[in-house]
Structure 1
């Protein structure tokens, strides 16, 4: 692991780091905020997954999470959204919703994407190993959250591994990629046309197939321009109601899809996570 930068903030250290990834075969960059703590103390970890076009930097610079994390004693980890670098394939037309910046947190099975686009394995295995080895992280207390495509990632990673993640929340998530244009493009491109394979990457399908967590928290802005065409929170509400999966879905009046929305409710989400991480 290489240190790209560190900055003092809110009585803690905001760092950006890079490493050579065995899963993607590329150099991967991520950010970690570590609050000040007693020598030898291990702190719970909150993972944050970002949306389309983003890197680790978007939430790091605009998410306004550090004060809450310092107060609550939470490590905050923000990975990238896709592999990057020379030789990594990208959308042929440079579209924002596929390829670089749009890994959708899957392990691709279709060439040429299968070689590098392994964000599921990167987040399920490789990066947690590095975080546990290099930071004062209590890896028995982890939670996950995300925005948009990253909300999809947080919901699906959390539902697939409830033993690892004690809390799962999302801002404006893509709740059912199987049923929206962004998701159909990504899943067909990365996984092929067998929709049975897609279900492991769809929160609503996972819940229909029996996945459960103690609770879900979702905030969605009512002025989000992607609300009806791409995000469709009503599908998640229906799936949870049918399955008896607890869900707190809050429609926030007048908020859009931006970090103005996310930062407005970030501290609230982190407090919700902290309650469950201390249980």
Structure 2
């Protein structure tokens, strides 16, 4: 699969590539950003960190405001910033609200009419996109991959990590939607993408998945105490930690409540270096 490079931007000594490619799983062209650190530009093979964005975002938001490139440049890690949903499929209802449909794919493979024909972000992120990237960009080491994300993307990072043991060397999350079956955002999305199939809902809920995890578990989760969505009960990180503890999987789970921080990119940029460092140690970077 070929990528079209629509822009190349110098960033922290490396290059940020704005890419576009046709994707079968989403039935449309997908845009993304790929950051290649200086080490990759000098011919070295580098590990990869996938960053999953939140509701309404594209692959541009964090690349431009999250500053993951700073520590990634120092540590010699490539960063992939995918989009959050298919675009322009003209599915009935996909553009009616900001928290469902376009910009809100929730990193699942939908099964409901209309959405099942393209809203396959789980397959896109776990299979099609990495396979295409590792085939096209030989400087990327497909055997050393980590994942992180913010809000809906934090949900995606946690669930993809927990559903695919061994696929990712590490996982971290910023303000994740950690128990979607019990919050308004998650209930709306899962109803729209899965209908009333409650078993399917649980397959994409990190709090449910952590109960089934086998072996040691290390996760870094940051949530701001000034986050209005946290206060409104959309994130529920305590539910995730409680489920991990009940299953005996909480020893390596770090939930850090960051005083006064909100849900914005100011919060993420403040701790981006630490999350890259978390991945770097486990990627051997």
TM range (shorter): over 0.9
Distance 1:90 1:36, change over 3 A: farther
CA contact 1:62–1:259 (8 Å) conserved in 2: yes
Verify: 1:157 aligned to 2:160, yes or no.
yes
1:250 to 229, 238, 256: 256
- Conserved 8 A contact 1:56-1:78: yes
* Alpha-carbon distance in structure 1 between the residues aligned to 2:217 and 2:76: 22
> How far apart are the structure 2 equivalents of 1:161 and 1:92?
28
User: What do the CA deviations read for 1:240-262 (whole angstroms, capped 9, x no partner)?
Assistant: 11112220000000000000000
Tell me if structure 1 keeps the 8 A contact 2:227–2:262. Answer: yes
Which whole-Å CA distance do the structure 2 matches of 1:271 and 1:143 have between them? 11
CA distance in 1, matches of 2:155, 2:277: 21
How many residue pairs match? The answer is 278
Deviates more, 1:60-69 or 1:31-40: 31-40
- CA separation in 2, counterparts of 1:213 and 1:52? 31
Query: What is the TM-score normalised by the length of structure 1?
Result: 0.96
Aligned to 1:189: 192
The reply to whether residue 218 of structure 1 matches residue 221 of structure 2 is yes
Q: Using the alignment, how far apart are the partners of 1:276 and 1:174 within structure 2?
A: 24
- Relative to structure 1, the CA distance from residue 211 to residue 200 in structure 2 (aligned partners, 3 Å threshold; closer, same or farther) is farther
Specify the alignment match of 1:114 in structure 2: 116
Gapped regions of structure 2 (runs ≥ 5) = none
CA distance in 2: counterparts of 1:92 and 1:49, whole angstroms: 20
Q: 1:77 aligns with which of 70, 77, 80?
A: 80
Deviation at 1:88, TM superposition (A): 3.2
2:9 maps to 7
| Matches of 1:63 and 1:137, distance apart in 2 | 21
2:277 maps to what in 1?
271
| Coordinate RMSD, CA, aligned | 1.4
Q: Secondary structure at the match of 1:231?
A: coil
CA contact (8 A) 1:47 1:144 kept: yes
CA displacement at 1:69 relative to structure 2: 0.6
- Structure 1: unaligned runs, 5 residues or longer: none
Secondary structure (helix, strand or coil) at the match of 1:83 reads coil
> Match of 1:189, SS?
helix
Aligned residues of 1:91 and 1:100 also touching (Cα < 8 A): no
| Residue in structure 2 matching 1:41, options 40, 44, 50 | 44
Deviation per residue, 1:29-83 (Å, 9 max, x gap): 0000001226542100000000000000110110111121110000000000000
Secondary structure class of the residue paired with 1:100: coil
Q: What's 1:230 paired with?
A: 234
**Alpha-carbon distance between aligned partners in 2 of 1:161 and 1:10, rounded to the nearest angstrom:** 32
Task: State how far apart, in whole Å, the 2-side matches of 1:217 and 1:191 are.
Answer: 29
